[in-house]
Structure 1
Amino acid sequence: MTAAPTPDTQRSSTDPRLLATIVAVAAGAAAAALHHVTGMFWGDLGAYRAGAVAAGAGELYQAVHHTPDGTALGFTYPPFAALLLRPFAVAGHLHIVAGIKLTPLIFVGYLVLTGRWRAAGIAVAAFAATIGLGFAWRPADSARFWSGGLLDTTRVTGDPRTILNQSLSGAVTRIADDPQPGLAWLIVAALAGAAGMAVAVAYHRAGDELAAVLACAATGLLISPVSWHHHWVWWVPALLLLARHAREHRDRGATITAMVVWVTLVASTSWVLASPGGWDLRFTGLGLVYSNLYVLLALTGLGAAAWRLYRDRSAAADDRRYAVARVHS
């Protein structure tokens, strides 16, 4: 005789992929409705489209999209990104995302460090193909971009100190109140990059791939010269991971942490008023904490993840020593 399903077993039978799909569709519908009513919040897409249109007129890097609040967004991406939005463009495999937005390149390093050479080779080959297509379509613009334009932060933001730039580079410029981060940023980024990737690889070897991917993503956003606040969408799966851990292990600490992170993210929503209000560059005292919330959260998260891994390994080692001692006693 089969026992009737309990509420707990009914909840656990819910397909997380179905739930994620429902949430994604609902969020997309809400974003589309909000954009239709206000004309705002899809500025990046407007910049991509402006680049695609300008490319037809022969002035790719002169393209500018003006948002309803008066912000001017230039086309700052590889030529291949504009090609994709041309009427004759054909979308390709996921591995080409680095040819559109360079930040995902950090995951190629992650694949190499975790020994997945074939996947890394495919990603590199696909990325190289996007560069080749860009040169075939727009040779002058491609040469301009890849010969140094991609490292020029002024093409992305007029001043990297803006609060909307939530990277280590932005944090260093705000703390020093100097738009040129210089050697200090390179040193900090190198240390953070090495430590963050070490955490990612360690979690991969421990079998926790989601935590590994989140650590890699956070590291990439921290060390990027410019990481806009909306690039940190990785907070969503990170919060879900915390919530799952809190529920499965009845961990009150994880619950409190998730709540603190959520409140911090809500507090950061006022950043969207910064640039139009003209108060997005200079901060002192607690203002420096407020203006670097995502950077501080990411660094704290990576540190906590490393400590958790160390603690779990130490506990496992103690258990093995105890088991061996009992066998020989």
Structure 2
Amino acid sequence: MPTAPDTGTAAARTAESPARDHGGTDASPDTRPTWSTWPRSLTARLAVLTAVTVGVAYNLVGFPWLRQVGSYYRIDLDVYRIGGTALAHGVPLYGHLPATALGKPLPFTYPPLAAILFSPMSALTLDHASLALTATSLVFLVGSILLTLRSLGLVDRTTMTWTAGALFAGALLLEPVYSTLDYGQVNIVLMALVVADCLLPKTPWPRGLVVGLVAAVKLTPAVFVLFFLLRKDFRATLMTGVGFLAGVAIGFAVSFSDAKTYWTETLVDSGRIGLPAYPANQSITGMLARLGLDPALRSPLWVVGCLLALAITVVAVRRSFAAGRPALALTTTAMFGLLASPVSWSHHWVWVVPMLAVCGHLALARRDAGRSADNELRHRALWATWTLTGIALFVIAPHWRLAPGRTSGLGWPLWDQFLASSYVWWGLATLVLVAVVPLAPAHAADPLPAESADEDPELVRVS
């Protein structure tokens, strides 16, 4: 007997489709990309299960022959925990903090709200805090992938589950993701919160509030105001400001002196984060700094570069919304934020996970019926090539291949300079592609629920 379709999810999606600008999709009932059937292979499912199991175990506790089983030291988490402990005990947050487990004191560079959120970690051992944050990041990574897939039109639970599993396992091989996990960073958690606020068809909170609070934890997510502005969602734009101010106010309420120090002194200290020329700084500023340019020249060039990138981003985001593709608009905005930020460490580039998923979808989804077969093939090939290029780039991470023995990032040959800023070039090129290449409208590209198992006798269920 045929399995009943997921009518609840489909109905919710249908109800949201008229308001595509608010995170929903608008799929045509006559379109079904062939890739929606791939999870029917038993071999594929076993491969996904194996990859997910190994990836989760590797990052949580290690895995035989790949990583020594046991606890793994995560230096940034150590700093977070020290900052949270300092705040809880009234120690100045932006003064001289206790040394890390490596014996070296490192500064706390986040706003006070971040320290408030990290303070519960003071009740945990470093090993237990490491396990908790890693597990949370892995769960939130899955969540961000699921929300992206839903925005792309996947509503069938079987197809979505196995596709998300495959993307999750693949994402663990990307340098921004595994560096975030190895350092004990919070990039994945913050990304998932922004994705939820921007792509959920309906939110139980006022849309934009979470983005504002996230910006009060780490300033760079404030760039997503651009997403709301270009979508003409002015209420969400306002709520982003409300959320940010609320986060700042909480910091002042908990520790007025620390909040005052951060917003009047620490924030404007350009040297608090690190050397801009360091190879891991994958931003326009980092690229210019590695060229050895004088700061007096570098600053105006940075402004010009950011303005050009912003202009391209505005065009790209508007075209994405016009095509009914909010996930593409969101990830394009993220690319601009990474490029424009004075410091975007390579582990900040976790946004390539949803970006690559969107690019892959553009390569696999069907095009307009009126487009010639040759044009369709060229567009598929373009996005497929770009997706594969991105995967290879973020797996290889050229800046780390070049860096041993040359960690200053200065005095490198021109070709090495180009490779050392590979994330920057990929991000810029992605903005240009989205801005100029014709985008298939969502109603002609989004997939429908895959057929049920009982309708296809070749499907082997895995329980």
Q: Under TM normalisation by the shorter chain, which class is it? A: 0.7 to 0.9
Name the structure 2 match of 1:30: 58
Unaligned ranges ≥5, structure 2: 3-33, 42-47, 123-192, 194-204, 367-376, 442-463
The equivalent of 1:47 in structure 2 is: 79
Q: Which residue of 2 aligns with 1:317?
A: none
Task: Tell me the percent identity.
Answer: 29
Change over 3 Å in CA distance of 1:269–1:71 after alignment to 2 = farther
2:279–2:400: 8 Å Cα contact kept in structure 1? yes
The superposition leaves residues 241-268 of structure 1 with CA deviations (integer Å, 9 ceiling, x where unpaired) of 2222223346233222222222222221
Distance 1:150-1:243 versus aligned 2 partners, 3 A rule = same
Aligned to 1:290: 419
| 1:252-291 mapped onto 2 (5 Å cutoff) | 252-268=381-397, 271=400, 274=403, 277-282=405-410, 283-291=412-420
- For 2:382, the aligned partner's letter is G
CA change 1:23–1:177 in 2 (3 A) is farther
Q: Quick one: distance in 2 between partners of 1:244 and 1:30?
A: 28
1:170 paired residue number: 286
Is the CA contact 1:165–1:229 (under 8 Å) kept in the aligned structure 2?
A: yes
Counterparts of 1:201 and 1:23, CA distance in 2: 37
> Which residue of 107, 129, 133 maps to 1:74?
107
* Aligned-residue CA RMSD (Å): 3.6
In structure 1, the partner of 2:116 is 83
Aligned residue in 1 for 2:147: none
Larger RCO, structure (CA 8 Å, separation 6 or more)? 2
Is the CA contact 1:110–1:197 (under 8 Å) kept in the aligned structure 2? no
Distance 1:200 1:66, change over 3 A: farther
Cα distance between partner residues in 1 of 2:395 and 2:332: 22
TM superposition score normalised by structure 2: 0.57
Amino acid at match of 1:279: T
Other-structure match for 1:63 = 97
Aligned residue identity for 1:290: L
2:365 to 225, 244, 248: 248
Q: 1:166 to 1:270 in 2, by over 3 A?
A: closer
Structure 1, unaligned runs of 5 or more: 15-19, 314-329
Change in 2 beyond 3 A, CA 1:239/1:87:
closer
Aligned partner of 1:236 in structure 2 is 353
**Cross-structure match for 1:318:** none
Instruction: Using the TM superposition, give the Cα deviation of residue 208 of structure 1 relative to its aligned residue in structure 2, in angstroms.
Output: 0.9
- Partner of 1:296, secondary structure, is helix
Over 3 Å counting, the alpha-carbon distance change for 1:214 and 1:105 in structure 2 is same
Q: Offset of 1:88 from its aligned partner? A: 10
Output the amino acid matched with 1:216: T
For 1:281, what is the secondary structure of its paired residue?
Answer: coil
Q: CA deviation at 1:134?
A: 0.7
* TM-score computed with the length of structure 1 as normaliser: 0.77
Partners in 2 of 1:73 and 1:269 — Cα distance?
Answer: 27
User: Which residue of structure 2 lines up, in the alignment, with residue 111 of structure 1?
Assistant: 228
Alpha-carbon offset, residue 210 of structure 1: 1.0
